């Protein structure tokens, strides 16, 4: 864990976590996803009929209604210990072009870590876990929440959109099946879903990685192959990943004298004005927000046309 400065730089392989309590367990939420933290007020919540498990209803937030989810229920931690305090809080998040609220028992503080300090969850525990891994701080093991996995389970349409028929049938100068795609994404569900969509659209040569470090090592190992421009290659990368994040991966590729011309697309739920600036700082060629898979395929087609 590092001392906090003012801002996180682009491609520094660091993350900031807002830590919250569920009973005596700390959970971390990426600060880049957090819009606000406020006291929980049940009067602002309207229950909805036939809510998915863990969904409390809709909450009034800044003159709009947003879904509110209960982390205690989602994490199957009902009545497992004593609450740290009686002041329950709501963390309002914005990612995947959606705003959602998550209720927790209390807020702790913001901590900064290197992704190298992050321990990914054992893949054999399950691909549908709402915890993506852990970090150590303040004599606690902080479980890092995978909010994208939460949405993928509760509201599947928020994570990946359906690909239109027009997008599926578009033809380009280079056939889609000739494009070599390297895809870095730590979420099993999203990785599997994106690969399925890309293959349905005709992209057949896809090599996937669970983190940025593995993708970087692969690129370095095969650098001479990628220097052969007769084999068009595109790197698609998430931002939040263990060991090495997507911005650091992009920076390392663009600084390598052999790999600097690799076309890099950042595909993340965190794309906003600030994150676009960071993508530009590491020389990413393009960036697109999840769940816009149609836009991602259009960018790949543009590359095939040039």
The CATH fold of domain 160-305: Rossmann fold (3.40.50)
Determine contact, residues 65/59, Cβ cutoff 8 Å: yes
> Residue 182's pLDDT is what?
98
Q: Worst-scoring range by mean pLDDT, 69-83, 213-227, 292-306?
A: 69-83
pLDDT score, position 5: 47
For the segment 229-250, the average pLDDT, to the nearest whole number, is: 92
Say whether the peptide bond before residue 283 is cis (omega within 30 degrees of 0).
no
Tell which wins on pLDDT, 124 or 107.
107
What's the predicted TM-score (pTM) here?
A: 0.85
In terms of pLDDT, which residue wins out, 158 or 147?
147
* pLDDT score, position 249: 98
Q: What is the pLDDT of residue 1?
A: 52
User: Which pLDDT value is given to residue 169?
Assistant: 66
pLDDT at 174: 64
CATH architecture classification, 14-153: Beta Barrel (2.40)
pLDDT of residue 160: 67
Q: Any idea what the Cα angle at residue 104 is, between residues 273 and 60, rounded to 5°?
A: 65
pLDDT of residue 183: 99
* Window from 32-41, 47-56, 105-114, 239-248 with minimum mean pLDDT: 47-56
The pLDDT of 221-225, averaged and rounded, is 91
Write down the domain spans for the chain.
14-153, 160-305
Least confident of 42-46, 189-193, 194-198, 228-232: 228-232
Distance, CA of 151 to CA of 43 (rounded, Å): 24
pLDDT at 124 over 60: no
Assign 6 a pLDDT band (cuts: 50, 70, 90). Answer: very low
Is the pLDDT score of 7 beyond 70? no
Higher pLDDT, 142 or 178: 142
> With bands split at pLDDT 50, 70 and 90, how would you rate the model's confidence at 172?
low
């Amino acid at each position: 864990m590092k001392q906090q400065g003012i801002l996180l730089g682009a491609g520094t392989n660091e993350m900031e976590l807002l830590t919250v309590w569920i009973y005596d367990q700390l959970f971390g939420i990426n600060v880049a996803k957090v819009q606000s933290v406020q006291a929980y007020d049940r009067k602002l919540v309207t229950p909805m009929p036939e809510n998915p498990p863990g969904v409390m209803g809709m909450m009034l937030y800044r003159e709009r209604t947003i879904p509110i989810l209960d982390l205690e229920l989602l994490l199957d931690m009902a009545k497992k210990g004593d609450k740290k305090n009686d002041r329950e809080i709501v963390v309002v998040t914005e990612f995947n072009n959606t705003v959602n609220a998550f209720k927790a028992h209390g807020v702790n503080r913001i901590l900064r870590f290197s992704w190298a300090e992050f321990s990914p969850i054992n893949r054999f525990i399950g691909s549908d876990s709402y915890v993506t891994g852990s970090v150590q701080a303040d004599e606690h093991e902080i479980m890092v929440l995978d909010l994208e996995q939460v949405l993928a389970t509760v509201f599947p349409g928020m994570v990946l959109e359906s690909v239109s028929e027009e997008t599926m049938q578009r033809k380009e100068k280079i056939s889609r099946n000739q494009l070599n795609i390297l895809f870095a994404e730590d979420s099993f569900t999203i990785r599997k879903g994106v690969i399925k969509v890309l293959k349905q659209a005709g992209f057949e040569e896809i090599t996937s990685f669970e983190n940025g470090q593995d993708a970087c090592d692969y690129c370095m190992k095969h650098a001479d192959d990628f220097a052969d421009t007769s084999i068009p290659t595109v790197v698609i990368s998430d931002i939040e990943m263990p060991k090495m994040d997507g911005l650091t991966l992009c920076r390392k590729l663009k600084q390598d004298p052999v790999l600097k011309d690799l076309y890099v697309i950042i595909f993340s739920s965190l794309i906003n004005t600030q994150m676009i600036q960071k993508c530009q700082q590491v020389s990413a060629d393009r960036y697109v927000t999840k769940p816009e898979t149609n836009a991602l395929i259009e960018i790949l087609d543009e590359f095939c046309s040039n």
